[in-house]
Amino acid sequence: MMNNYTDRVTVKIFFMLIVSLIGVPAFFYYDNPIWLAVLFTFYGLVTNALSQIAYHRWICHTQFEPNFIARYLMIYSVVISGLGNPVQYVYSHLVHHKNSDKPGDPHNPKEIGWTGMLLGRYKTPDDYVSIRAVLQKKDVYFVSNHYWKFYILFTCVHAVINPWLVVWQAFNFTHAWFGMAWLNTVSHSSGAPTQTKGFTNLWMMGEGNHHIHHKNARLLDMSGDNQTDWAGKYVIPGLLAK
Amino acid at 35: W
The burial of 10, by beta-carbon neighbours within 10 Å (0-12 exposed, 13-18 middle, 19 or more buried), is given as middle
* Residue 28 confidence class, pLDDT cut points 50, 70, 90: very high
C-alpha distances in angstroms, 191 versus 8, 70, 102, 119, 196?
A: 28, 36, 8, 20, 14
Beta-bridged to residue 209, according to DSSP, are: 195
Rg of the chain (C-alpha set): 18
pLDDT at 2 exceeding the cut of 70: no
Q: Which residues lie across from 66 on neighbouring strands?
A: 241
**H-only helix segments in the chain:** 5-29, 34-52, 68-81, 86-98, 109-118, 132-135, 138-145, 147-161, 163-186, 199-203, 210-215, 230
What's the confidence (pLDDT) of residue 87? Answer: 94
Question: For 69-119, how does the pLDDT look when each residue is reduced to its tens digit (9 = 90+)?
Answer: 999 999 999 999 999 999 999 999 999 999 998 888 999 888 888 899 999
Contact 229, 209 (CB under 8 A): yes
Residue 106's alpha-carbon distances to 84, 134, 144, 189, in angstroms, are: 16, 19, 20, 15
Query: Which CA distances in Å does 142 have to 85, 139, 149, 239?
Result: 11, 5, 11, 25
Q: Which amino acid would we find at residue 33?
A: P
Report the percent of the chain where pLDDT is more than 90.
64
pTM: 0.92
